[in-house]
Structure 1
Amino acid sequence: MSFGQCQSIKSLMSGFDRPWFIAGGWAIDLFIGKGTREHKDIEFAIFRKDQIYLKNYLKEWEFKKVVNGKFHAWESEFLELPIHEIHTLNMLSGDKIEILLNETKENNWIFRRDLRISYPLYSIGSINETGIPYLKPEIVLLYKAKNTREIDHQDFIKIKDYLDKKKKKWLENALEIHEPEHKWLRFLR
């Protein structure tokens, strides 16, 4: 499996001069350095404060915000929490992308589901050898911990041994705050 979809996003975002990161299962594969499974979609994350800049950057795309699990046209209003998910459609190519809005405060990334959990903003992502930025796996796994599906559990099992002590400890602490009964905790201790 190649990272062709991720390379397409990298090309698309080449002129976007704000931070962005591949998210979800693709981020885990980018961290490991190889494809581990088929992916039904692709998503990337940006900071909430950059949403209007992104909308102007992707002007030939149609945008929909997700509100209570339903799609609604996104005009030009600034999206606040709890809205965090945007879907885009390129009207010419038919390409679809999911965009996830991420919270920041001062020099920290803030977990939108529990504002007590943070990560230093300068280190929430990495870049693979071909220059594709992606969210750190411990952050991706924290998002996957809510309503964990079998595919999310398999992602965790595949990656847990690639995480160094610092990454495991951060994920363990975040899960203890957010999902204190989560089954992944026994693998992290």
Structure 2
Amino acid sequence: MGADVLGRWVPDRPEDVAAVFAKADFPWWIAGGYAIELAVGRELRAHGDLDVLVLRRDQALVRGLLADWDLHVADPPGQGELRPWRPGEVLQPPLHDIWCRCTPNAPWSVQLILDEAEGTQWVSRRDPAIRLPIDQLGRTTETGIPYLAPEVQLFYKAKATRDKDETDFEAVLPLLDAPARAWLADAIKVIAPGHNWLRRLLPVSRT
């Protein structure tokens, strides 16, 4: 589902999103390519959108925070169709992808991603066997912007790797410590056991 089909994108910057979410009383994280850039501390490439990950159980709080925005959910996911996210509507799996813009005439600027949780555990929507404590799911920049831990973001990028994902992997790999590499390798084995990234991760992963 691309911007050429559903309208123009002018993605916000992470600091713009942080200003919008400053009053959020729920956890949220910059995701996607911007999360990798926040981890490495420099720009790597151009971005077509800006992703923000939130937990599905907090969706009503997100909907309230963005009450004045124009919000549309991809329904069904990945099929090039959007419909309004109605106030009070509870989105159930597999719906997880929400496009956001300030007004109906503005370009899209933020893409919300809903992810699953059980108690204190984040649970991957791709396979419930893949999980982490929620307090280990992200990092925070020196200026206070939360972003998805790079090993978690790379896991999401591993399903259908593109050139930009390879760029992100090469940039952030040196920053991953042994536990992060091990977790990522184990997670990739579940969804893509033949993935070429495993050769770079296996020397310090569990066997």
Q: What TM bracket, shorter-length normalisation?
A: over 0.9
Name the amino acid aligned to 2:146.
P
Name the amino acid aligned to 2:83.
H
Residue of structure 1 equivalent to 2:98: 86
Answer 1 or 2: which has greater strand percent.
1
CA distance in 2, matches of 1:177, 1:153: 19
Residue of structure 1 equivalent to 2:138: 125
Q: CA deviation at 1:94?
A: 2.5
Q: CA deviation at 1:147?
A: 1.2
Given that residues 70 and 104 in structure 2 are in contact (C-alpha distance below 8 angstroms), is that contact kept between their aligned partners in structure 1?
no
Q: CA deviation at 1:122?
A: 1.1
What RMSD, in angstroms, separates the aligned Cα atoms of the two structures? 1.4
1:160 aligns with 2:173: yes
Given that residues 101 and 110 in structure 2 are in contact (C-alpha distance below 8 angstroms), is that contact kept between their aligned partners in structure 1?
yes
Residue of structure 2 equivalent to 1:101: 114
Q: CA deviation at 1:169?
A: 0.4
Q: 1:170 aligns with which of 161, 164, 183?
A: 183
Name the amino acid aligned to 1:27.
A
Name the amino acid aligned to 1:11.
A
CA distance in 1, matches of 2:38, 2:153: 12
Paired residues, what number?
Answer: 186
Q: 2:163 aligns with which of 150, 157, 160?
A: 150
Residue of structure 1 equivalent to 2:39: 31
CA distance in 2, matches of 1:93, 1:25: 26
Superposition pairs of residues 45-64 of structure 1, within 5 angstroms: 45-64=53-72
CA distance in 1, matches of 2:104, 2:14: 19
CA distance in 2, matches of 1:105, 1:25: 26
CA distance in 2, matches of 1:126, 1:172: 20
CA distance in 1, matches of 2:65, 2:52: 15
Name the amino acid aligned to 1:67.
D
1:186 aligns with 2:186: no
CA distance in 2, matches of 1:133, 1:60: 23
Give SS of 2:23's match: coil
1:140 aligns with 2:153: yes
TM-score (norm 2): 0.86
CA distance in 1, matches of 2:117, 2:131: 9
1:77 aligns with 2:85: no
Residues 129-183 of structure 1, C-alpha deviations (whole Å, 9 max, x = no match): 1110000001101111111111111111111111111110000010111211111
Identity of aligned residues (%): 34
CA distance in 2, matches of 1:154, 1:29: 11
CA distance in 1, matches of 2:119, 2:110: 28
**Structure 2 unaligned regions, length at least 5:** 1-11, 203-207
CA distance in 2, matches of 1:151, 1:92: 30
Q: CA deviation at 1:59?
A: 1.2
Q: CA deviation at 1:92?
A: 8.0
Give SS of 1:130's match: coil
